[in-house]
Amino acid sequence: MNAQLVLEDVAVQFGGVKAVRGISTAIGVGEFVGLIGPNGAGKTTLIKIVTGLVRPDRGRIFLEGQDVTGLGTPDRVRRGLALSHQIVRPFREMTALENVALAAGMALTANPWRALFHIRRREQYERAALILAKVGLAGTERKLAGNLPLGQLKRLELARALAVEPRIVFLDEPLAGLNHAEAAKQAETISEINASGVTVVLVEHNLEEVMRICRRLIVLNDGAILVDAEPGEAIANPAVQDAYVGGGAMSHAEA
Amino acid sequence: MTSYTVSLICAVGINVILAVSLNLITGLCGQISLGHAAFFGCGAYAAALVMVATSSMPLALMAGMLAASALGIAVGFASLRVRKGFLAVTTIGVNFLFVGIVRKQEWLGGEMGVSGIPPTGLGHLGDMTLIVVIALATVLFSLYVTRSWMGFAFKAVGEDEQAATTVGIGPAGYKLAAFGLGTALAGVAGALYTFFTQFISVDSFDFTLSVMLLAMVVIGGIGSTWGAVAAAAGLTLLPEAIRFVNDYRLLVFGTVLILVIRLAPGGIAELARGAFARGRTS
C-alpha cells in the first residue's frame, strides 16, 4: 500500500476532555474509508486535525510523505487535500457558480499579489459549471448560495471540495439532512469520485450508505480506534456492537 | 474658476480617495476600520516633513504613501489577532493614539501643527488637477481590484474566513494586502491635503473624520466603489450647499446613516441598481 496520509500518535484535548487520544493510522492512495463511531467518538475532531482546523497537542501528520503538522488549512489544501464541512459553509453572498469557481481558481489565489494581476474568470467558470453538473446542481449556477435549500448546499459543499482537484478528500457527513433518494444519489457521486482515483475519507451516520460504498471502516470510540477492518468484518465485531448503544443502528445497516 | 470652487473640488477629490480606499478595506475585504483618519494624518505629516525638508512634491507623495501603509500593515497584523467586532475598537484606539501622540511631539509642531509648508510649484489649479487625476486613478484601481481575483478572494475572506481556508485562501495575507493598499491610498490623500492646504494640524485627523468616512462607505453601499464616490461627493458638498447641514454636520450625517441602514442597507448603490432595473422593465 502506498501511504498517502499517515497519522502518528495524534492527540488533542479540549479543557479536560480527551477528544482524540493517540490515534495512529495510514491511508493509501485510492482508498475509500468510512470513519464511523457513536456521537462524541472524535470523528469530526479527527477530521479537523487532519485538515488543519484544529492543532493537535501531540503527534504528527504526513501527507504524501511530507510532514504537514505545522501547516494551516490553505497550505494543506494546496497540497492536494480537500474537505467539506459537516455544517455547510457556502459563501452566501456569492452565486453557486462563484462559490465553485473561486475554488477552481485556487492557482490564482495562492497569494494576494498574484491574485491582483489576474482578471479573467471564464475558464474557472466553465470548469465550475461542469463540476456543478456532476454533483447534480445544473441550473443553480446564477442563484445566490444563501438562497439554496440544505440538500443543494450539501452538494455545493461537495462541488467546492472537488473544484480544488484534490487527491484526498475528507467529507464530514455529506449525506446528513438529505432524504433517502438524495442521499443515495450523493453517495453515488462520492463513489464516482473515488472511482476516478481520489482517496475518500467519509464521516457519516448513514450506515446503510457507508456499508454500501466504503471498502474499509475505521470505527472510533471515545477518541481511539476501536476497529479498523473491511466493512462487514468491522460491523460484525462485538466491540463495535457494544459501542453503539442497543445496536439499533447496526441492525438497520444490516437490513 | 474661483478659489472657492477649486477648494471644493480638492475637498471632494480627497474625500473620494479616502472613502474609496476605506471601502477597499471594509467593503471589499470585510475588515471594519474606524481609524482611517489616522492613516490619512500619518500620510499628511510624513509628506509635510519631507516637503519642508526637500520641497520635492514626488518625494513627499511617496513618503506619505509609505508611512501610512507601514502603519496600516502594522494595524493589519493586529487584525489577524482580533475578531471582527474588536477590530473596530482596535482601530478606534489607533486613531486616538495617533492624535494623542502627535499632539505631544514638538518636532511635529505639537498643538500648533506644521505650517510654512512650501508650495508644490504647480499653482492652485495644478494642485487641483493632481488631486482630480489621482482620485480618478484611485477609482479605476478600486474597480480593477473588485474585478480581479484579489477582489474575489477579498469577498471570500470578508464573508467567511474558515470557508476561505478550505478553498486554499489564506485570510492573513489578504487582510494585510487590504490594509496595506487601503492605507497607502489614505496616505496619498494625506500628502495631497498637505500640498493643497500648506498647513496641517492634528485636529484635522481625529476620530470624527474616521466616523464620517465609514458613514460614506455605508451610505454609498458597502463594497460599491461608485457608491463610495457618490456618498463622498454628496456628503462633502451638502454642508456647503445647505447652511443648516454645516452647523449640524454630525447630526445630519448620523440621521442619514441610520435611515440608510434601516431603509436601504445596500446604500446608494442598491438604490441605483433598483432604479436601473425599474427603468428597464417599464
Q: For A169-195, how does the pLDDT look when each residue is reduced to its tens digit (9 = 90+)?
A: 999 999 988 888 888 889 999 999 999
Buried-exposed string A152-180: b where 16+ CB fall within 10 A, e elsewhere: bbbbbbbbbbbbbebbbbbbbbbbbbbee
Asked whether the beta carbons of residue B149 and residue A89 sit closer than 8 angstroms, the reply is no
Q: Please enumerate, as own/partner, the contacts of A49-54 that have beta carbons within 8 Å and a separation of 24 or more.
A: A49/A10, A49/A12, A49/A20, A50/A5, A50/A7, A50/A81, A50/A170, A50/A201, A51/A76, A51/A81, A51/A83, A51/A170, A51/B166, A52/A76, A52/B165, A53/B162, A53/B165, A54/A12
Instruction: Write out the three cell numbers for A231.
Output: 466493512
Q: Does A180 touch chain B (CB under 8 A)?
A: no
Say if residue B240's pLDDT is above 50: yes
A58-63 sheet: strands from edge to edge: A17-28, A3-14, A58-63, A66-67
In this prediction, residue B281 has a pLDDT band, given cuts at 50, 70 and 90, of: low
Contact list in A for residue B162 (CB cut-off 8 A) is: 53, 89
Q: What is the C-alpha to C-alpha distance for residues A69 and A11, in angstroms, rounded to an integer?
A: 12
Give the CATH number for residue A196: 3.40.50.300
Q: What is the mean pLDDT of chain A?
A: 90
Nearest CB neighbour to B145, from listed A108, A116, A160: A116
Interface probe with B: pick from A102, A113, A122, A144, most Cβ of B within 10 Å: A102
Contact list in A for residue B170 (CB cut-off 8 A) is: 72, 74-75, 111
Asked whether the beta carbons of residue A109 and residue B162 sit closer than 8 angstroms, the reply is no
Q: What is the DSSP letter of B114?
A: B
Asked whether the beta carbons of residue A91 and residue B160 sit closer than 8 angstroms, the reply is yes
Say if residue B183's pLDDT is above 90: yes
Q: How close is the nearest chain A Cα to the Cα of B55, in Å?
A: 33
In this prediction, residue A18 has a pLDDT band, given cuts at 50, 70 and 90, of: confident
Say if residue A243's pLDDT is above 90: no
Q: Does A179 touch chain B (CB under 8 A)?
A: no
Residues of B with CB under 8 A from a CB of A: 144-145, 147-150, 152-153, 155-156, 159-160, 162-163, 165-170, 173-174, 176-177
Residue keyed to cell 484526498? A168
What pLDDT is attached to residue B167?
95
**Out of A213-217, B24-28, B177-181, B277-281, which region has the weakest mean confidence (pLDDT)?**
B277-281
Judge whether A47 and A25 are in contact, CB under 8 Å: no
Domain carrying residue A37? 3-92+166-254
Taking CA–CA distances from A73, the nearest residue in chain B reads B165
Residues of chain A above pLDDT 90, percent: 72
Residues of chain B above pLDDT 70, percent: 99
Residues B190, B196, B198, B202: is their CA dihedral positive or negative? negative
Note whether residue A178 is domain-resident: yes
What pLDDT is attached to residue A252?
47
What pLDDT is attached to residue A245?
56
Note whether residue A125 is domain-resident: no
Taking CA–CA distances from A106, the nearest residue in chain B reads B168
In this prediction, residue A250 has a pLDDT band, given cuts at 50, 70 and 90, of: very low
- State the total domains in chain A: 1
In this prediction, residue A248 has a pLDDT band, given cuts at 50, 70 and 90, of: very low
Note whether residue A139 is domain-resident: no
Contact list in A for residue B177 (CB cut-off 8 A) is: 112-113, 116
Q: What is the C-alpha to C-alpha distance for residues A211 and A161, in angstroms, rounded to an integer?
A: 23
Buried-exposed string B179-189: b where 16+ CB fall within 10 A, e elsewhere: bbbbbbbbbbb
More confident residue, B257 or A253: B257
**Out of A52-61, A132-141, A190-199, B258-267, which region has the weakest mean confidence (pLDDT)?**
B258-267
What pLDDT is attached to residue B84?
67
Is B272 buried (19+), middle (13-18) or exposed (0-12) by CB count in 10 A?
middle
Nearest CB neighbour to A164, from listed B150, B167, B174: B167
Contact list in B for residue A119 (CB cut-off 8 A) is: 144, 147-149
What residues contact residue B108 under an 8 Å CB cut-off, 6+ apart? B45, B49, B102, B114, B202
Q: What is the pLDDT of residues B87-139, one digit of tens each?
A: 888 999 999 999 999 999 988 988 888 998 999 989 889 999 999 999 999 99
State the pairing for strand pair A3-14/A17-28.
Answer: antiparallel
What pLDDT is attached to residue A255?
36
